[in-house]
Chains A and B, each alone.
Chain A
């Protein structure tokens, strides 16, 4: 068996996947766990599909192999669909109920699935669907959606909640610490309630 707990965080360049993975990495340091992670840098960040691999307890490479992730956190419904094959059958998905249509769809007149059909295509997974925008607004800033999502997934992550919250405090900009700590807790509550499960 692999020694690590493998998390894939996916989204769109600019949504804060890297910050979310930094929180997990920092939490590993706080708990004296080994960790390996891989990020998207460079041109792909310009509004493209991005992925962060985080292997808690990882000792080898940073890449997660499709079909073996323990948790998928998706900041966008379409990205959840794009990366769902990283999960084994029935795997755990925490997804933001939010869909940004790629501009190329309009330019090239491509077919794009709607929210309902995406959720139907994901229904064989263990899905928690989160209204990250609503909770982030409630926490005090729409920009804290990435931390809401992390909070919502934290119940299945093998790191202590207080460690994760401390890691949030260490990783976010100073002025936004309280907002993000609130976002983490609101996300965590929503995740525990399985809020909005389809």
Chain B
């Protein structure tokens, strides 16, 4: 149809349109979020598209659609698949009728993640096919065909792009958007859809019986392919395959693994023809383990021999270094180029006017010896303000906090969690804390949106993924119905009231919830809210450093005095912090 310059995730979303997708759900998570974000803003939308409350919920909704014969997509980041792992494992047994593709985006180097886990391990664990594109174009093509593959084997298909596929752009050759859409029809079939022991034992056998034909098919489809050129070879997968192609010498053979499970006979035939094979893949040694299993006399090099790194993201230079180490010819030698030492870092920072900053500031003032378990979101950046002590996974702020409180640790526990994360997996933890009598404060950072991943709406926003007004929910009512008797909602821009609320919370026992509520400063600006900027009166500024510790990016220090830059969003909290009254609205002084 046309060649367009597209983001990997845009190409993937377009491929879903070409494949006549009927249903899409997901939970936002970098680097996966733009797939649903593209689908939900299509002008023509002859399919259902939803942001779900968490990945398990998203998975099960899409599975329901696929059980009705629809083509369904479910998207998440790699750690989201942990949340959805329960239905994932058994959906391999039940299978599907409509094509069902589970997109789980991996993040080598953990650019925006808490770990470097490998979705291909889940595919192996569940015995499901997994597609692993090496380029933006291949991501598009694989996704377009994945639904048919799912239907051919009646199995969910896992689609595993990495950050450098999702967030790379390139010229992508697109096909026509499909126009055939299906009508959902659920056909009762207890032996397939009810996994009581008598049924599931049979389903398990059926799943295992599908494997040999599946492996052969993935070779037939060209996902796993090779070129024999010499007596040494590289076997590569994913984005690393593109880096290998960039530097590979003309006399070195190449096998590219784009899909799992790998056909052992096919792989053995390739490996056996070579004296030495280097396996190059990011994350876990999935391909390497397969190569080692089939190799007889061939020398195999990879992560397990220390030739290829286990951690992080690769570049063509990583690959060239591994090839040099393995004694294989590469076409390029990269110069040793180190960064200039001593350049001050510029880490991401909470925005000027972000509602989280005064909340963290006030927590530190009131709970000087507090322990601060936190969660996944922009507010993890509160670590720069000394107000985040733990972050492990979605929803764990309340549970880790109640565990610390119940363990006998005597210092006060103040957990922070965003509104979207609270609705994701925070609620059961709150209920548990109340039920088991934990003594703790929970601060819900309610900015009305899922901000970090690109401002996706959630049930607390008031609109759905497609912009339809949704039934309002009340975080306060949810907390009260979990059994919390002390729930206070406060505007975090109002520092005196915020401090007073925290002090009152400190005096009480049991689970106390404070809802700090103020729209995300980015969405507020986009919706036209303008607040007058603030300025410093240099005559009154005493250089005391109080505003310095607030850490707002709109406050700079030129020489002795503080100044406020054009980044000021007008939240006005610094004016309350300044002990000399030197900060006021522009034009007031």
- A binding-site residues for B, Cβ under 8 Å: 2, 12-13, 21-22, 25-26, 28-29, 33-49, 58, 60-63, 65-68, 78-79, 81-86, 88, 101-107, 110-113, 121
A2 to B245 Cα, complex, angstroms = 12
**Could you tell me the distance in whole angstroms from the C-beta of A134 to the nearest C-beta in chain B?**
15
Q: Is the CB of B552 within 8 A of A62?
A: no
- Please give, as numbers and ranges, the residues of chain A lying within 8 Å of B552 by CB-CB distance: 103
24 pairs of residues in contact across A and B, judged by CB atoms under 8 Å = A22-B5, A26-B5, A38-B169, A41-B31, A41-B112, A42-B112, A42-B453, A43-B452, A46-B351, A47-B346, A47-B348, A47-B553, A49-B346, A60-B245, A60-B316, A61-B315, A78-B346, A79-B346, A88-B335, A102-B344, A102-B346, A103-B555, A104-B344, A104-B349
Instruction: Indicate with 1 or 0, residue by residue over B233-246, a CB within 8 angstroms of chain A CB atoms.
Output: 00000010011011
- Please give, as numbers and ranges, the residues of chain B lying within 8 Å of A13 by CB-CB distance: 348
- Please give, as numbers and ranges, the residues of chain A lying within 8 Å of B343 by CB-CB distance: 78, 81-82, 113
Known A65-B315, A65-B337; further 19 A-B contacts with Cβ < 8 A: A29-B171, A35-B170, A36-B136, A39-B167, A41-B454, A42-B31, A42-B112, A43-B380, A46-B348, A48-B346, A48-B347, A49-B345, A49-B347, A60-B242, A61-B316, A65-B317, A81-B343, A83-B339, A107-B384
A42 to B454 Cα, complex, angstroms = 7
- Please give, as numbers and ranges, the residues of chain B lying within 8 Å of A26 by CB-CB distance: 5
Q: Is the CB of B344 within 8 A of A105?
A: yes
- Tell which of B171, B548, B552 has the most Cβ of chain A within 10 Å: B171
- B binding-site residues for A, Cβ under 8 Å: 3-5, 7, 30-31, 34, 111-112, 135-136, 164, 167-171, 239, 242-243, 245-246, 315-317, 332, 334-340, 342-351, 378, 380-381, 384, 452-454, 548-549, 551-553, 555-557
Given A29-B5, A78-B344, do A66 and B317 touch, yes or no (CB 8 Å)?
A: yes
A78 to B378 Cα, complex, angstroms = 24
Which among B167, B170, B553 is the interface contact of A34 at CB below 8 angstroms? B170
Tally A-B pairs: CB < 8 A.
172
- Please give, as numbers and ranges, the residues of chain A lying within 8 Å of B332 by CB-CB distance: 2
A105 to B557 Cα, complex, angstroms = 10
Q: Is the CB of A104 within 8 A of B335?
A: no
- Tell which of B31, B169, B242, B345 has the most Cβ of chain A within 10 Å: B169
Q: Is the CB of B316 within 8 A of A65?
A: yes
A101 to B344 Cα, complex, angstroms = 9
Which among B5, B339, B551 is the interface contact of A25 at CB below 8 angstroms? B5
A102 to B555 Cα, complex, angstroms = 10
**Could you tell me the distance in whole angstroms from the C-beta of A104 to the nearest C-beta in chain B?**
6
**Could you tell me the distance in whole angstroms from the C-beta of B463 to the nearest C-beta in chain A?**
23
Q: Is the CB of A47 within 8 A of B351?
A: yes
CB-nearest residue of chain A relative to B380? Answer: A43
**Could you tell me the distance in whole angstroms from the C-beta of B342 to the nearest C-beta in chain A?**
8
A103 to B564 Cα, complex, angstroms = 12
- Please give, as numbers and ranges, the residues of chain B lying within 8 Å of A78 by CB-CB distance: 343-344, 346
**Could you tell me the distance in whole angstroms from the C-beta of A183 to the nearest C-beta in chain B?**
18
**Could you tell me the distance in whole angstroms from the C-beta of B544 to the nearest C-beta in chain A?**
14
CB-nearest residue of chain A relative to B8? Answer: A62
- Please give, as numbers and ranges, the residues of chain A lying within 8 Å of B246 by CB-CB distance: 2, 60-61
Q: Is the CB of A35 within 8 A of B171?
A: yes
- Tell which of A35, A103, A104 has the most Cβ of chain B within 10 Å: A103
A174 to B32 Cα, complex, angstroms = 28
Q: Is the CB of A46 within 8 A of B243?
A: no
CB-nearest residue of chain A relative to B451? Answer: A46
Nearest 7 pairs of A and B residues by beta carbon: A67-B337, A48-B348, A42-B112, A42-B30, A67-B335, A66-B337, A60-B246
A100 to B548 Cα, complex, angstroms = 16
**Could you tell me the distance in whole angstroms from the C-beta of A113 to the nearest C-beta in chain B?**
8
CB-nearest residue of chain B relative to A171? Answer: B5
- Please give, as numbers and ranges, the residues of chain B lying within 8 Å of A81 by CB-CB distance: 340, 343
**Could you tell me the distance in whole angstroms from the C-beta of A80 to the nearest C-beta in chain B?**
10
Given A37-B168, A65-B316, do A43 and B30 touch, yes or no (CB 8 Å)?
A: yes
A29 to B3 Cα, complex, angstroms = 7
**Could you tell me the distance in whole angstroms from the C-beta of B172 to the nearest C-beta in chain A?**
10
**Could you tell me the distance in whole angstroms from the C-beta of A167 to the nearest C-beta in chain B?**
9
- Please give, as numbers and ranges, the residues of chain B lying within 8 Å of A65 by CB-CB distance: 315-317, 334, 337
- Please give, as numbers and ranges, the residues of chain B lying within 8 Å of A61 by CB-CB distance: 135, 164, 168, 239, 242-243, 246, 315-316
A82 to B336 Cα, complex, angstroms = 16
**Could you tell me the distance in whole angstroms from the C-beta of B476 to the nearest C-beta in chain A?**
28
- Please give, as numbers and ranges, the residues of chain A lying within 8 Å of B111 by CB-CB distance: 40, 42, 44
Given A63-B316, A81-B340, A121-B340, do A104 and B171 touch, yes or no (CB 8 Å)?
A: no
A43 to B28 Cα, complex, angstroms = 13
